[in-house]
Amino acid sequence: ISGFAVIIVGAVIEANYRTYLDFISSTYVSASSILIAVGVLIFVVGFFGCCGAVKENHCMVVTFAVLLCIIFIMQIGVGLASYVLRSDVENFLHHNMLVSMHNYTEERPGIYKTWNVIQHEHACCGTDNYTDWKETRFGEHINGVPEACCIQNTDNCGNDVFTKPPSELDYINKEGCFDKLKGDAKENVTILGGVAIGIGFVQLIGVAFACCLAKSLKRQYETV
Along the 224 residues of the chain, how does pLDDT read in single tens digits?
777 877 887 787 677 666 555 555 555 555 667 778 877 887 888 887 788 778 877 788 888 888 888 878 877 877 777 677 766 777 778 888 898 999 899 888 878 888 998 899 899 999 999 999 999 999 999 999 999 999 988 889 999 999 999 889 999 999 999 988 877 666 666 666 777 777 777 778 878 888 888 788 777 766 65
Coil, helix or strand at residue 152: coil
Q: 82-98 as b/e, with b when 16 or more CB fall inside 10 Å? A: beebbeebeebbbebbb
Q: Contact 155/149 with Cβ under 8 angstroms?
A: no
In this prediction, residue 21 carries a pLDDT of 55
Q: Which residues contact 147 (CB under 8 A, 6 or more apart)?
A: 116, 153, 154, 155, 156, 157, 158
In this prediction, residue 185 carries a pLDDT of 65
Q: What is the pTM of this model?
A: 0.59
